[in-house]
């Protein structure tokens, strides 16, 4: 019985990433391949080396690497991308304008070795594109799919590099585009200037999520704002804190601002929302957390 391997592949213009089966143990990272995905047969690239599977491995839902891309297949794909797709894009644009449809065409994709063309577009709401699909199907004698996307997918399709100088995370390794909140930016003391914390899609940058869990954990080790604390430098009310450096800024009774380290806290005299005394647990200040800031 032939040995089976698992390899991570990337395919499609939205750069989908998934595991696929292969019998080629010699595949290398960067090899161009023909893969059978959930959408059909298409060109892709191996982004890992093959990993040998055992009898207990769950292979349900996996794609399949059919073979490495041949020179002829690669040449055919280049012709499609350079000649066919631009022509289809222009024709679709004309028809969108002709039918006065409230949509913006973003990109066009061919599934390799099939008569299926996918047109990606943006729109604020639902669009009745039935007449448009009829025009496209009649023109190209192919299965037509209209796929509505959001601004984050548009950036994934059309943009390349971020402010940091690296290729967009959504184009390289992010499989799912998780929500990013303003709270994450505030926790990390990032500037709140939208132009500096927004990605190419106009939404908050995905990288704000990467260290958020660590910041949240460190934040809960500090007393929240409004807490009255006793420290080696005196007594004061917490007015601010530096999560990363684990420092607290407190205001003394004579309105002076004093910066203390977490391990300089001796006692929590009064909680931020209650007047009861509550010890910090130790001279290191552990137990001062559990707050929302």
For residue 100, pLDDT beyond 60: yes
CB atoms within 10 A of CB 156: 21
In this structure, are residues 291 and 272 in contact, taking their beta carbons and an 8 Å threshold?
A: yes
CA distance 264 to 6: 53
For residue 201, pLDDT beyond 60: yes
Question: Residue 134 — φ and ψ, nearest 5°?
Answer: -60, -45
pLDDT band for position 145 (cuts 50, 70, 90)? very high
What pLDDT is recorded for position 30? 93
For the segment 22-56, what is each residue's pLDDT rounded down to a tens digit? 999 999 999 999 999 888 888 999 999 999 888 77
If DSSP codes are grouped into helix, strand and coil, which group holds residue 80? helix
Task: Dump pLDDT digits (tens) for 224-278.
Answer: 899 999 999 999 999 998 888 899 999 999 999 999 999 999 988 887 655 444 4
> Which pLDDT score, from 0 to 100, does residue 293 have?
45
Q: List the domain boundaries for the chain.
A: 5-69, 74-149, 154-210, 215-293
Q: Which of 2-6, 39-43, 62-66, 101-105 has the lowest mean pLDDT?
A: 2-6
Check residue 2 and give its pLDDT: 66
Whole-number pLDDT of residue 115: 82
pTM more than 0.95: no
* Sign, CA torsion 273/275/281/283: positive
Mean pLDDT of the chain: 85
* In this structure, CATH architecture of domain 74-149: 2-Layer Sandwich (3.30)
Residue 57's pLDDT band (cuts 50, 70, 90): confident
Q: Over 90: is that where the pLDDT of 3 sits? A: no
In this prediction, residues 116-144 reach a mean pLDDT of 94
Residue 126 has what pLDDT?
92
* Pairing between β-strand 41-46 and β-strand 234-242 as defined by DSSP bridges: unpaired
pLDDT at residue 275, rounded to an integer: 45
Token pair for 97: 């304008």
Task: Pick the range with the lowest mean pLDDT from 72-86, 98-112, 158-172.
Answer: 158-172
CATH of domain 215-293: 2.30.30.140
Distance CA 273, CA 269 (A): 12
Alpha carbon distance 57, 162 (integer Å): 38
């Amino acid at each position: 019985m032939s040995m089976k391997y698992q390899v991570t592949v990337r395919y499609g213009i939205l750069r989908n990433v998934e595991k696929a089966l292969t019998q080629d143990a010699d595949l290398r990272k960067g090899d161009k391949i023909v893969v059978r995905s959930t959408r059909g047969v298409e060109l892709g690239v191996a982004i890992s080396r093959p990993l040998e599977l055992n009898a207990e491995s769950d292979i349900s839902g996996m794609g399949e690497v059919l073979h490495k891309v041949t020179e002829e297949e690669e040449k055919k794909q280049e012709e499609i991308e350079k000649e066919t797709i631009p022509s289809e894009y222009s024709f679709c644009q004309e028809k969108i304008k002709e039918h006065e449809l409230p949509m913006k065409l973003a990109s066009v994709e061919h599934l390799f070795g099939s008569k299926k063309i996918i047109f990606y577009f943006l729109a604020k709401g639902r669009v009745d594109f039935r007449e448009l699909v009829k025009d496209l199907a009649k023109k190209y004698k192919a299965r037509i799919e209209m796929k509505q996307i959001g601004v984050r997918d548009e950036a994934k399709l059309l943009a390349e590099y971020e402010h940091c100088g690296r290729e967009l995370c959504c184009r390289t390794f992010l499989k799912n585009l998780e929500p990013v909140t303003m709270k994450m930016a505030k926790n990390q003391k990032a500037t709140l200037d939208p132009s500096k914390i927004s990605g190419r899609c106009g939404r908050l940058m995905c990288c704000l999520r990467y260290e958020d869990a660590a910041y949240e954990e460190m934040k809960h080790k500090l007393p929240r704002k409004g807490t009255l604390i006793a420290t080696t430098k005196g007594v004061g009310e917490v007015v601010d804190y530096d999560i990363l450096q684990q420092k607290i800024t407190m205001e003394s009774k004579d309105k002076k601002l004093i910066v203390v380290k977490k391990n300089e806290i001796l006692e929590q005299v009064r909680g931020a929302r209650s007047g009861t005394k509550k010890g910090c647990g130790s001279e290191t200040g552990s137990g001062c957390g559990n707050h929302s800031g």
